[in-house]
Structure 1
Amino acid sequence: MKKKLLMAASVFLYGLCSSAQEVNYEEYDLDNGLHVILHQDNTAPIVTTSVMYHVGGKDRTEGRTGFAHLFEHLLFEGTENIEKGKWFEIVASNGGSNNANTTQDRTYYYEVFPSNNLKLGLWMESERMLHPIIEQGGVDTQKEVVKEEKRLRYDNSPYGQFLPELGKNLFDKHPYKDPNIGYMADLDAATLADVIAYNKKYYVPNNAVLVVAGDIDLPNTKQMIKDYFGPIPKGEEIVRNYPKETPITAQKNAKAYDSNIQIPASMIAYRTPGFKEKDAYVLDMISTYLSDGPSSKLYKKMVDDQKQALQVGAFNISQEDYGMYVVFGLPVGETSLETLTTEMEEEVEKVRTSLISEKDYQKLQNKFENQFVNSNSSVEGIANSLARYYLLYGDTSLINKEIDIYRSITREDIKEVANKYLNPNQRLVLEYLPAENTAN
């Protein structure tokens, strides 16, 4: 009876995913190369206007890291027609909210407004693209903002340096070796001319996608987009030719120190393929299998049963060119980091050497079906997904069919991918230690 109920639930969920979650959209290009995606949803009087630029932390030259993150802040400074410091005030006073974020691969700006303020949202984003005011005073101000953010989120936050340390040790040549936020010495050394040149190169219509989602009228929206964004000049073609990494063929060992922690951590990391590869989707499934929830393999074994770890987990950090697959543990009591590493490797080895059970496989499929159902539950989320799938994956239709990639993954695929990327001779073992241990 249990099996029949599980099968019935799976069939129902599959049907729900196949129909109810279909996202309709229209996409086209302006003459200047700006890609436009429109999603009409008139169920609520709200609209999201967003622009994603194909520029992130990796887009830099040596000695000039962190520019994309600096621009995340700098392009709120003001424009020729928006007074300095008034951006957030204008948005809030018109019933809206806005934000921005930057990864190693892209920068995303968005506003959420009552739908009667669509014109305002489009105008503001066109102003950001066409008329930003970049001057020394604003650059200096935002450098200090970035420094404070670095102190808060990285320098003075427990375990705040573990991602930069992993990047530094996993990559030798590719810009992923440097933190997205950059090095403060690089920002201090940057000239106004450097910053202006960066803006001219990357923040151009042919390096961006505009998404408008929500309560819109399509013909009127298209006309406004043409009026506001059509006159913006096309930029020069951007050529990316980042160096390829030499495969890791022998275990790498490293140590890092953090003055904000008392409990050390053991971290195992592997260099993996970029997120467009099917193998990256398989690695998502492996991380869910190993560490998603208290019934997962790592948690049940090392936290519940053996009482060795205060916390343990595995996650796949998806990036455009290379990913990072990370397994980590924080010890309990006298448990050594070496013991944690051994026990974590034991669970990874099981995935490499034998097929996961049919029951565990079905649980994985159900979890990813559920994630898919929830992923497009808001207009704001849909706007982000449409921009990301177009700009980074080159396939907007993934918003509706990405779940089919997960559905196509077999137990044999999981074993094969684990064997391909998650071997001891392909890994970095990082001991993340309290700073006072530096003398030992």
Structure 2
Amino acid sequence: MTITAEKPTHAYTLANGLQVILRQDHRTPGICASLFHKAGTDHERANQRGLAYLAGGATFKDKDLERKIGATANGWIDYHLSAYSLEAPSAELATVLQLLAARMEPQTLSRERLDKGIKHTRKLEESEPYFSSDYWITSTFEELIFPQARTVYKFGNVDDLARITVADVLSWHEEGYAPNNSILVIAGDIALDDVQPLIQHLFADLAPFEGFAPAEQPAHSFTGDERRLVQHLDTPLPRLQMAFNTPSLATPGAIGDIRALQVISALLTRGPQAWLPLRLSEDKHTLSSVISRLPAYRRNDDLFLLAATLGVDTSLSVQQVELEIKQLLESLKTHALDAETLKYGQQQALESLEEQDTLEIQASILGNLAAIDLPWTLIDSEAGQIHNVTADDIQRVANTYFSPERLSVAHSLPREA
């Protein structure tokens, strides 16, 4: 797939409040249809932590029919969203939309099924997951990054889970999954004359809900020195995670800063000339893996994460690698990039966009943009905005966000036998 292909996009709202975004992409004979409900873990009220996961798991799914039509399902719960997507051949569009519409209709839930869901969720919360991904951050580290947020749980508070009732779950679904709190996105090989009547038929009669009042989290302020954590986890090699507090795309005026961070991210971690690990003292032997995670779609503050697993043969400690990475970041603050280095970072950032140009990711981006009240057109202007990032932008953004008061550091060491 290529981001240069034309993808006509149409957005409108049904009378019941359901936002609809249709993106025509005829490069492959498939579609991805996704529902986004603006009800995530940050919206859970006191004494109901875990309700978002329970409601998501209890909502209608027909796995047999999904398999029959060759659909691939993906569901997730985020801070501000509960989402479910189906990717399938375009010939199965009508069935896919029927499956999604059923998730928004009034649900039924037995006490037995809820108890089973609570037991499963409690098991996940109490488990010690294998630390297999540089992207994954522990609940303890997340609380360090966002010190003014509520207690962080992987899935829910064990005591709260025990108190949640069938009525609680059904009420959450009625309010949070209502059409006027939801977004339907369809990306792929679709024709407007076919899809719009289907949407009207299947979704227009769903009843809206007035009065959904989710709990919101406060914005954070950052003062003092960096925050630090040492944790022993099931990781075979030491890992370093450095998280800098940043705005999100939802922050007014922050889009230019986010694009500069995308270029910095690409410069540090992507391609044959990536600074990490090539500019570290032991070159490519220093790290076995390194990633960066960019700020995205949180309503309030977000983070820029650098995460690295040390190499098997490196003689450097986690502390030494941290110091060397800090020196590289400091150089971004004190020295403007030359034209060739800036161009490399931009090219790598654009290649990253190319790699993400799938139907599922297009639908995800469009739904997330709508959920934070940003125009869908940002998906098509992103490449141009990256092209427009300057060396001055890089230096300014590095000075703004790569500061001690915004930094949280975790050293994740192998658990002792």
State the TM bucket, normalised to the shorter chain. Answer: 0.7 to 0.9
Aligned in 2, Cα 1:148/1:293: closer, same or farther, shift over 3 Å? farther
Aligned in 2, Cα 1:199/1:431: closer, same or farther, shift over 3 Å? same
Q: What CA distance in whole angstroms lies between the structure 2 residues aligned with 1:201 and 1:269?
A: 34
2:394 to 410, 414, 417: 414
Alignment pair present for 1:273 and 2:247: yes
Partner of 1:397: 377
- Structure 1: gaps spanning 5 or more residues: 1-15, 78-86
Partner of 2:22: 38
1:197 to 159, 171, 174: 171
Q: What CA distance in whole angstroms lies between the structure 2 residues aligned with 1:223 and 1:173?
A: 47
Partner of 1:118: 93
| Within-5 A mapping of 1:6-405 | 20-41=4-25, 44-76=28-60, 87-147=62-122, 149=124, 155-158=129-132, 162-175=137-150, 178-179=152-153, 181-239=155-213, 241-258=216-233, 260-276=234-250, 277-278=254-255, 279-302=257-280, 304-305=282-283, 307-320=285-298, 321-331=300-310, 334-376=315-357, 378-405=358-385
- Give, in angstroms, the shift of residue 328 of structure 1: 3.5
Which stretch shifts more, 243-252 or 181-190? Answer: 181-190
Aligned in 2, Cα 1:165/1:318: closer, same or farther, shift over 3 Å? farther
Which stretch shifts more, 23-32 or 264-273? Answer: 264-273
- Give, in angstroms, the shift of residue 222 of structure 1: 1.9
1:225-275 C-alpha deviation (Å, 9 max, x unpaired):
1221111111124445421212133222222222x1343333322211112
Q: What CA distance in whole angstroms lies between the structure 2 residues aligned with 1:311 and 1:386?
A: 30
- Give, in angstroms, the shift of residue 180 of structure 1: 5.2
Aligned in 2, Cα 1:41/1:410: closer, same or farther, shift over 3 Å? closer
Q: What CA distance in whole angstroms lies between the structure 1 residues aligned with 2:189 and 2:291?
A: 40
Amino acid at match of 1:387: G
Report sequence identity in percent: 22
Equivalent residue of 2:244, what SS? strand
Q: Is the 8 A contact 2:9 2:24 kept in 1?
A: yes
Q: What CA distance in whole angstroms lies between the structure 2 residues aligned with 1:184 and 1:139?
A: 14
Q: Is the 8 A contact 2:240 2:409 kept in 1?
A: yes
Amino acid at match of 2:320: T
Structure with more of its chain in helix, by fraction? 1
- Give, in angstroms, the shift of residue 48 of structure 1: 2.9
TM-score, with structure 2 as normaliser? 0.87
Which stretch shifts more, 267-276 or 385-394? Answer: 385-394
- Give, in angstroms, the shift of residue 220 of structure 1: 3.8
Which stretch shifts more, 390-399 or 179-188? Answer: 179-188
- Give, in angstroms, the shift of residue 203 of structure 1: 0.8
**Paired residues, number:** 407
- Structure 2: gaps spanning 5 or more residues: none
Amino acid at match of 1:56: G
Q: Is the 8 A contact 1:48 1:110 kept in 2?
A: yes
1:322-363 C-alpha deviation (Å, 9 max, x unpaired):
112223444455533322221111111111111122111101
Q: Is the 8 A contact 1:299 1:313 kept in 2?
A: no
Q: Which runs of 4+ in 1 moved over 6 A?
A: none
Q: What CA distance in whole angstroms lies between the structure 2 residues aligned with 1:353 and 1:226?
A: 56
TM-score, with structure 1 as normaliser? 0.83
Q: What CA distance in whole angstroms lies between the structure 1 residues aligned with 2:392 and 2:291?
A: 23
Query: For the pair shown, which has the larger CA radius of gyration, 1 or 2?
Result: 1
Q: Is the 8 A contact 1:205 1:232 kept in 2?
A: yes
Aligned in 2, Cα 1:98/1:298: closer, same or farther, shift over 3 Å? closer
